[in-house]
A and B are shown apart, each in its own frame.
Chain A
Amino acid sequence: MFNDTVVKEIDDIKSRYPDRKSALLPSLYVAQREFGWLSSEAMESVARALNVPESVVRGTATFYAMFRHAPAGRHVIQLCTNVSCMILGAEQLVDFLKSKYGLTPGGTTEDGRFSLVIMECIGACGTAPAMLVDTDFHDNLSEKRIEEILEKYK
């Protein structure tokens, strides 16, 4: 369950909305940060903090792509392969991540360092191909650049 600091953080979030259920998405982000992913315990904690049924929490949590329902690696790579990125070589980069790091879409490296999520447009089409590593944007990607960038994430 959440500690007192987190409970207070969620109370603050609740105060921004006319009803407590509206705090669900931001609270799920808090739970994901605290637990690393949305485990049953994480979702139960959110349900209790907001006093909404757990079934509602699960329904919402499973609808949105950015909520994780399994443990992730230490760093999450979110690589876009939508059309603007695809025509500039994003799919070759997916192959490269597999051959070089053993990383497949939806998977995690054996050492738990990286997870890979394929994204539907991250709004960096002018500097495609692009990815987010955790919350950092990286663009104009090539195999060489990916190697250099990932070096910084241990």
Chain B
Amino acid sequence: METFLLKNIDSPTSAEIDEYVRAGGYRNLAKALGMTPKEVLEEVKKSGLRGRGGAGFPTSMKWSFAIADPKFPKYLLCNADEGEPGTFKDRPILEKNPHLLIEGMVISGYTLGAEYGYIYLRGEYPGARDILDRAIAQAYEKDWLGDNIAGKGVTFHLAVHQGAGAYICGEETALIESIEGKKGQPRNKPPFPVNVGAWGMPTIVNNVETLSNMPLIMEIGGEAYARIGSADCPGPKLFSVSGHVTRPGVYELPMGTSLRDIIYTHAGGMKNGKKLKAVIPGGISTPVLPESGIDCAMDFVAMPKAGSMLGSGAVIVMDESVCMVRVAHRALKFFEHESCGKCVPCREGTDWLRKSLERIEKGEGKEGDIELLTDVSGIMSGRTFCPLGDGAAGVVLGMLKHFRHEFQEHIKERKCTYS
């Protein structure tokens, strides 16, 4: 398939503005500026684009709420806090194709009536920081950013705000708190950020990949875009594939490509001829699927029906040598570490789950531990402030649904049968 988001990234100078312009870059921004913001919004609506950060919310709808709010200034925040373990799809855009993101943000800012944008970049990407700063400076120089963009009197200013190693800041209200200089703890909703966001003003938070789709929507039009991939959530999608596959990496494929195809056709199948045991399909917060569950379409609508979620499209492939108790334990160590501590079900729940899993993995599990895991996960589900706690509970419940026997074995045998 012809790529758009990852176009030209193999060139060593792909991040330079001259090369981006030579390949057709900023042409789509010029096209957007020749339309009214309302017309651009209409194209985004027709495209059917859904947010690529994980929730899959229709982008044009989110935008409409912020546009309808009479308060100014409005802010556009790009969520580049790519922290969901297993996810590395935004990194090639940030490091190799930064002007695509900048172009997408200016188009979006113009549509929203937002004159200020920030890229909230995770602290773990120091290389991307320098590349983005350089790309932004180049865009200012060529009048693709500033107070008179392309000589049309349009204003959009952009800066990078660097996070400092907190997974929770990928949650949009925590991200806003963090950009305001506070601890990254999620806010109560409503009010939603589209009305009361950064500095109390209407704010749109969109993922890197979402914003990077804007130039494509401008180029081919909303209707043609809507014909790519799945009918109810169209467009190209970036998949990060890691683990025991022959060719791990980031793949740009039509939304709705089957999980089996991603693993076997694109990522080259299993490494060293081993058998596939389990797949975490959308980053560590999404429930695990067994080998028998990989014939599903990777999109926001089909994946919940298949018992998991698309999440960030981060496919972690595990072969037969991997102990599921160990994976669950490691995952919960992560959630416990990253829980912001604001709400009790998440703060206490992740701690209980991690402790129980640690005990089971060490061969010190007790009868009733599986029931305890189920209980605690059930209490957490739907009762936490933000999706972090739900994710943690879902991981444990998914593991118990498909690999309960492994947990039972660990408890009964008082040891791990895999290591």
Task: Tell me, yes or no, whether A83 is within 8 Å of chain B by CB.
Answer: yes
Which of B178, B241, B327 touches A126 (beta carbons < 8 Å)?
B241
Supposing A83-B284, A84-B86 touch, asked if A126 and B250 sit within 8 A by C-beta, the answer is: yes
Which of A52, A63, A124 has the most CB atoms of chain B within a 10 A radius of its CB?
A63
**Bound CA span A60–B164, Å:** 10
**Bound CA span A67–B126, Å:** 14
Q: What residue of chain B has the Cβ atom nearest to residue A81's Cβ?
A: B330
Task: Tell me, yes or no, whether A127 is within 8 Å of chain B by CB.
Answer: yes
Residues in chain A near residue B83, CB distance under 8 A? 120-121
A83 touches B331 (CB 8 A): yes
Which of these binds chain A: B40-48, B180-188, B367-375?
B180-188
Which of these binds chain A: B7-15, B219-227, B314-322?
B314-322
Task: Tell me, yes or no, whether A66 is within 8 Å of chain B by CB.
Answer: yes
- Nearest-neighbour CB distance to chain A for B19, whole angstroms, equals 23
**Bound CA span A10–B199, Å:** 20
Residues in chain B near residue A109, CB distance under 8 A? none
Other than A21-B182, A122-B124, A126-B241, give 15 A-B pairs with Cβ distance below 8 A.
A21-B181, A29-B162, A59-B182, A63-B340, A64-B164, A81-B330, A84-B85, A120-B338, A121-B85, A121-B334, A124-B88, A125-B86, A125-B242, A126-B240, A127-B248
Which of B82, B179, B248 touches A123 (beta carbons < 8 Å)?
B82
**Bound CA span A66–B165, Å:** 5
- Nearest-neighbour CB distance to chain A for B139, whole angstroms, equals 16
Contact digits for A119-154, partner B, Cβ 8 Å, 1 yes 0 no: 111111111100010010100000000000000000
**Bound CA span A35–B181, Å:** 20
Number of chain B residues whose Cβ lies closer than 8 Å to a Cβ of chain A: 52
Which of B86, B124, B340 touches A119 (beta carbons < 8 Å)?
B124
Residues on B lying within 8 angstroms of A by beta carbon are 82-88, 91, 122-127, 159, 161-167, 178-184, 199, 240-244, 248-250, 280, 284, 314, 316, 318, 322, 326-327, 330-331, 334, 337-338, 340
Residues in chain A near residue B82, CB distance under 8 A? 123
A63 touches B280 (CB 8 A): no
Can you list 12 A-B pairs, Cβ within 8 angstroms, ordered by A?
A26-B161, A60-B183, A64-B163, A82-B334, A83-B85, A84-B242, A86-B330, A87-B243, A120-B83, A125-B85, A135-B126, A135-B127
